[in-house]
Amino acid sequence: MPRMDVRLVFCTCPDHDSAQALAHHLVARRLAACVNLLPPMQSVYGWQGQIEQAEEVQLLIKTCADRLEALQAAILERHPYELPEIVAISASAGLPAYLDWIRAQTREET
């Protein structure tokens, strides 16, 4: 199996409760092997012509390329933001056993 199929997906949530609920949903549906909830941070961004600032929780989601579309749909379905952050990057390297674990955890159950 190619090693380039693992993805790290960034997604911000407005608070810990929504972040935790989304993380549990993604792992339970095997759309993510693991989701890290990073401590609250300050985000500054442009939105609808204004400069906004908000405290957010950053999610770091580990998944595979073949689950990315379903993961994105699940985030869009449950996320409180009108336009949630969903940015995926390819893992170009990593501990082979850990990458295999991500693949195993995100395989659809048959």
User: Which of 17, 87, 8 has its CA nearest to residue 56?
Assistant: 17
Residue ranges of the chain whose pLDDT lies below 50? 1-2
The DSSP bridge partners found for residue 50 are: 47
> What pLDDT, on the 0 to 100 scale, is given for residue 32?
98
> Residue 24 is inside which H or E element, if any?
helix 16-28
The pLDDT score that the predictor gives to residue 4 is 67
**pLDDT score, position 15:** 97
Q: What is the pLDDT of residue 96?
A: 93
pLDDT at 106: 96
What is this structure's pTM? Answer: 0.93
Q: What is the pLDDT of residue 3?
A: 56
